């Protein structure tokens, strides 16, 4: 029983680190532009497929493929940003429809380019076991990208709080007009949030490729998971994203271990609804007071 | 000749020409409808089946030598039941004579009911749930079923003499039905069984595998899911290393693609397989199928292509037989399908009153190095099974 619990918590923690990376990209864009980028999961998937292509065509290790994936995903993210910028009316609602459409297009581009076959890395090291004290089991890739996830989330938190660009992003998120009066260019800041989101999507996509299998229909589920964590976290809270992701990860693995594995997705949704009911502004979100 | 008479003769001529042309067209060119998932979760299997359908059309047209010609009109159902129904309705409105395709029991169910409402035969190899053939649909046919897969898996596990089996299965309709069939069969044989149902979106199987390792301590692990599930389960097993003697799966596992792409991960793992890999086709039809497939798609045929081919060839034969007797309708094509007994690439096919093929039974293959060898039943075996043996 004790071993089962330890392993469930450990697996959930590792999953949470990766979930946080996926969700933080979505949360950043949501925080800055009040836009839910429904194509975010497809950006993660695109990075995974670029890593696959680099490995297949040039024998490149997935880690070494990150710069190439970053260029492809970054440009795609900027294209999404450009298209959203064309929306003149009711941006919050219309951007949902637009990004949903972009997600479908990206899924089909991936499908046509790389077919519907499942893909995963053939570099054995990523799948080798990393065993701690003969009790905690994981793959090397999970430990590696858990560390990368925590580092990226921490780095983003530091960047948002201790750099001019980060503070500008928070200023736009807080009050766009006031930020403009202080000399911040909101369009540039919004574009930057998309680029940072692309960096997070790239690393999480490569992590996905090394630890799991990818196929074209996967993106939609990633977006939903990221959205759930964003709501759990509360608007604009980086620590909230990490905590929300870990709660979701551990909740899923505990359900799989002590209840039924088939209920683990339901657990995520139940946590989501509970938070919405008990703390509508999220775990770390501030209450919005009506004027 | 009055103007009235001239007009009457011209009108009669037009009517005669239209009838004659229409009759000739009906006798020569038939369009089959195909609703398959080419995008979405089932895109991989749908694409494989569709390749087999295309090969069947090409081979039939060559064989019929102009007497009849077949075409296929395809609509992607996007792995979605509602879109599958819309696809069937659209194909029916286009005047297709019958339907071949479909993947996923939950999609085939409503799609085949829509076909029945339009009086169209619907034939598939993509839905194995038992409920599909218990709906009193006269126009529904399938060439395979969960019993065929289940019998093979049960037969292998019984021959291994294992005492305890952990069944890890996806909560989809077909896999759930198959898991229950296997569980009951094993229990009847006195084997202790534990089951672990997982959601189709699960990617991390370590929690399940840890239960198998610490609680179940089974002799064998039976996986009932799809390619991505197998890879996830096998990776979790490779990390946790439970004390199992064998890992057995069903469809989409003992394939050339899995052997190539996940070579180390699938070593010694079993799955249903009609033919060994590298494939050795024997018989004229099989050799021609293989050659046509390679010519059209530039790769070796897989089991999905085989099934898609067989279901479509049977349908084409039934349409031709009905046409030769003077009427092509849902009723006559269904009658022809019910009356046939065919020796096909997947074995004997004969349909019962429910449209099921009770002759369907599978074989079990095992990944052994660069090959997939048939190891069960003994009479069809191409090599001895490696037992006990696991990938790690």
User: Please, how many CA atoms are within 13 Å of residue B230, restricted to the half-sphere of its CB?
Assistant: 30
Whole-number pLDDT of residue B354: 94
Smallest Cβ–Cβ distance between A261 and the set B41, B199, B261 belongs to: B199
The token duo for A147 is 């560390």
CA B121/CA B358 separation, integer angstroms: 19
Smallest Cβ–Cβ distance between B39 and the set A111, A124, A263 belongs to: A111
CB–CB of A263 and B206 under 8 A? no
Please report which confidence band the pLDDT of residue B194 belongs to, taking 50, 70 and 90 as the band edges: very high
The Cα of A57 is separated from the nearest Cα of chain B by a number of Å equal to 14
The CATH code that applies to domain A2-278 is 1.10.3470
Please indicate if any CB of chain B lies within 8 Å of the CB of A132: no
Please indicate if any CB of chain B lies within 8 Å of the CB of A79: no
The answer on pLDDT for B338 being more than 60 is yes
- CA dihedral sign, ordered B161, B165, B167, B168: negative
Residue recorded with tokens 């692990």: B221
Smallest Cβ–Cβ distance between A264 and the set B38, B202, B232 belongs to: B202
CB–CB of A253 and B228 under 8 A? no
The answer on pLDDT for B342 being more than 50 is yes
Which of A18-22, B19-23, B128-132 comes out lowest in average pLDDT?
A: B19-23
CA B12/CA B5 separation, integer angstroms: 10
Please report which confidence band the pLDDT of residue B374 belongs to, taking 50, 70 and 90 as the band edges: very high
Residue of A nearest to B242 (CA): A137
Residue recorded with tokens 């490149």: A60
The answer on pLDDT for B14 being more than 50 is no
Whole-number pLDDT of residue A176: 85
CA A40/CA A194 separation, integer angstroms: 10
CA B100/CA A103 separation, integer angstroms: 30
Whole-number pLDDT of residue B9: 54
The token duo for A165 is 């660009």
B261 contact residues in A (CB cutoff 8 A): 117-120, 122
Please report which confidence band the pLDDT of residue B36 belongs to, taking 50, 70 and 90 as the band edges: very high
Residue range A52-80, pLDDT digits in tens: 999 999 999 999 999 999 999 999 999 99
B341-344/B98-100 β-pairing:
unpaired
Whole-number pLDDT of residue B282: 74
Whole-number pLDDT of residue B5: 54
Smallest Cβ–Cβ distance between B239 and the set A139, A217, A253 belongs to: A139
Region B319-345 average pLDDT: 94
The answer on pLDDT for A291 being more than 70 is no
B204 contact residues in A (CB cutoff 8 A): 11, 15, 212, 253
Please report which confidence band the pLDDT of residue B4 belongs to, taking 50, 70 and 90 as the band edges: low
Torsion, CA B13, CA B17, CA B20, CA B24, rounded to 10: 170
First to last CA, chain B: 94
Region B128-134 average pLDDT: 91
The answer on pLDDT for B355 being more than 90 is yes
For A130, B68, B141, B339, the CA distances from B325, given in Å and listed in that order, are 68, 14, 21, 14
Residue recorded with tokens 């989501």: A272
3 state SS of A134? coil
The answer on pLDDT for A286 being more than 80 is no
Residue B120: how many CB atoms within 10 A of its CB? 23
Region A246-264 average pLDDT: 91
Of residues B7 and B272, the one with the higher pLDDT is: B272
pTM of the predicted structure, to 2 decimals: 0.83
The answer on pLDDT for B227 being more than 60 is yes
Residue of A nearest to B46 (CA): A116
CA B4/CA B7 separation, integer angstroms: 5
Radius of gyration over alpha carbons of chain B, in Å? 24
Region B215-231 average pLDDT: 94
Whole-number pLDDT of residue B336: 96
The token duo for B290 is 């293989």
Region A19-37 average pLDDT: 90
CB–CB of B227 and A122 under 8 A? no
For B28, B56, B65, the CA distances from B324, given in Å and listed in that order, are 10, 20, 15
CB B360 within 8 A of CB B147: yes
CB B351 within 8 A of CB B357: yes
Rounded mean pLDDT of chain B?
90
Give buried/exposed letters for A55-69 (b at 16+ CB in 10 A, else e): beeeebebbebbebb
Residue B366 pairs in a beta bridge with B270, B373
Whole-number pLDDT of residue B8: 57
CB–CB of B228 and A124 under 8 A? no
Q: Domains in chain B and their CATH numbers? A: 10-145+282-350 (3.40.50.2300), 147-278+363-380 (3.40.50.2300)
Residue range A165-205, pLDDT digits in tens: 989 988 988 888 898 998 889 889 989 999 999 999 999 99
For chain A, which residues make up each domain, given as ranges?
A: 2-278
Smallest Cβ–Cβ distance between B196 and the set A4, A115, A261 belongs to: A261
Residue range B257-315, pLDDT digits in tens: 899 999 999 999 999 988 888 877 778 888 999 999 999 999 888 889 999 999 999 99
Among residues of chain A, what percentage have pLDDT more than 70?
98
CB–CB of A265 and B201 under 8 A? yes
Residue A48: how many CB atoms within 10 A of its CB? 34
Residue range A122-177, pLDDT digits in tens: 998 998 888 888 888 999 999 999 999 999 999 999 999 999 998 998 898 888 88
Please indicate if any CB of chain B lies within 8 Å of the CB of A212: yes
CB–CB of B208 and A213 under 8 A? no
A15 contact residues in B (CB cutoff 8 A): 204
3 state SS of B170? strand
The token duo for B310 is 């067989």
Region A20-33 average pLDDT: 91
The Cα of A212 is separated from the nearest Cα of chain B by a number of Å equal to 7
CB B58 within 8 A of CB B292: yes
Please indicate if any CB of chain B lies within 8 Å of the CB of A273: no
């Amino acid at each position: 029983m004790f071993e089962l619990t330890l392993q469930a918590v450990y697996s959930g923690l590792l999953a949470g680190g990766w979930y946080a990376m996926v969700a933080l990209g979505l949360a950043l864009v949501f925080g800055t532009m009040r836009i839910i980028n429904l194509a975010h999961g497809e950006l993660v998937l695109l990075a995974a497929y670029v890593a696959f292509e680099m490995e297949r065509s040039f024998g490149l290790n997935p880690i070494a493929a990150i710069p190439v994936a970053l260029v492809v995903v970054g440009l795609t993210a900027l294209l999404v940003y450009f298209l959203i910028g064309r929306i003149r009316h009711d941006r919050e609602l219309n951007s949902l429809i637009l990004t949903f459409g972009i997600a479908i297009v990206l899924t089909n581009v991936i499908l046509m380019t790389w077919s519907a076959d499942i893909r995963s890395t053939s570099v054995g090291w990523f799948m080798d076991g990393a065993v701690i004290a003969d009790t905690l089991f994981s793959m090397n890739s999970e430990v590696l990208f858990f560390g990368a996830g925590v580092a990226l989330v921490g780095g983003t938190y530091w960047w948002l709080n201790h750099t001019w660009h980060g503070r500008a992003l928070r200023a736009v998120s807080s009050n766009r007009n006031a930020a403009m009066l202080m000399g911040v260019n909101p369009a540039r800041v919004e574009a930057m949030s998309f680029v940072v989101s692309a960096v997070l999507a790239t690393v999480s996509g490569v992590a996905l490729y090394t630890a799991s299998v990818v196929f074209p229909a996967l993106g939609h589920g990633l977006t939903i998971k990221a959205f759930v964590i964003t709501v759990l976290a509360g608007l604009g809270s980086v620590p909230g994203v990490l905590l929300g992701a870990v709660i979701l990860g551990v909740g899923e693995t505990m359900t799989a271990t002590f209840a039924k594995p088939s209920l683990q997705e339901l657990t995520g949704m139940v946590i989501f609804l509970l938070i919405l009911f008990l703390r509508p502004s999220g775990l770390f979100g501030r209450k919005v007071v009506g004027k | 000749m009055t103007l009235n008479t001239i007009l009457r003769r011209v009108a009669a001529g037009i009517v005669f020409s239209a009838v004659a042309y229409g009759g000739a067209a009906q006798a020569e060119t038939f369009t089959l409808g195909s609703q398959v998932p080419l995008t979405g979760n089932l895109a991989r299997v749908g694409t494989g089946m569709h390749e087999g359908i295309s090969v069947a059309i090409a081979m039939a047209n060559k064989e019929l030598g102009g007497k009849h010609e077949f075409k296929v009109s395809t609509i992607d159902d996007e792995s979605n039941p509602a879109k599958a129904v819309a696809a069937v309705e659209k194909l029916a409105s286009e005047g297709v004579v019958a339907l071949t395709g479909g993947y996923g029991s939950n999609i085939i169910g409503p799609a085949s009911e829509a076909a029945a409402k339009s009086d169209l035969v619907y034939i598939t190899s993509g839905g194995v749930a038992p409920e599909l053939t218990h709906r009193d649909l006269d126009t529904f046919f399938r060439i395979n079923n969960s019993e065929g897969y289940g019998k093979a898996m049960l037969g292998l596990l019984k021959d291994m003499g294992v005492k305890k089996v952990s069944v890890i299965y996806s909560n989809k309709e077909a896999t759930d039905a198959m898991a229950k069939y296997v569980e009951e069969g094993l229990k009847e044989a006195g084997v202790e069984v534990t089951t672990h149902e997982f959601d189709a979106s699960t990617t991390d199987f370590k929690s399940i595998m840890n239960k198998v390792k610490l609680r179940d301590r089974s002799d064998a692990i039976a996986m009932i899911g799809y390619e991505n599930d197998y890879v996830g389960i096998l990776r979790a097993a490779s990390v946790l290393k439970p004390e199992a003697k064998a890992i057995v799966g069903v469809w989409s596992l003992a394939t050339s693609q899995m052997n190539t792409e996940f070579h180390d991960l699938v070593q010694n793992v079993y799955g249903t397989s009609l033919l060994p890999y590298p494939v050795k086709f024997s018989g004229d039809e099989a050799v021609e199928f293989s050659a046509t497939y390679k010519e059209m798609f530039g790769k070796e045929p897989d089991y999905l292509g085989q099934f898609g081919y067989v279901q479509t060839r049977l349908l084409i034969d039934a349409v031709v037989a009905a046409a030769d007797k003077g009427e092509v309708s849902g009723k006559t094509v269904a009658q022809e399908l019910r009356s046939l007994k065919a020796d096909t690439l997947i074995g004997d096919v004969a349909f019962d009153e429910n449209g099921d093929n009770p002759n369907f039974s599978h074989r079990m293959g095992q990944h052994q190095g660069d090959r997939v060898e048939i190891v069960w039943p003994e009479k069809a075996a191409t090599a001895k099974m490696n037992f006990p043996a696991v990938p790690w």
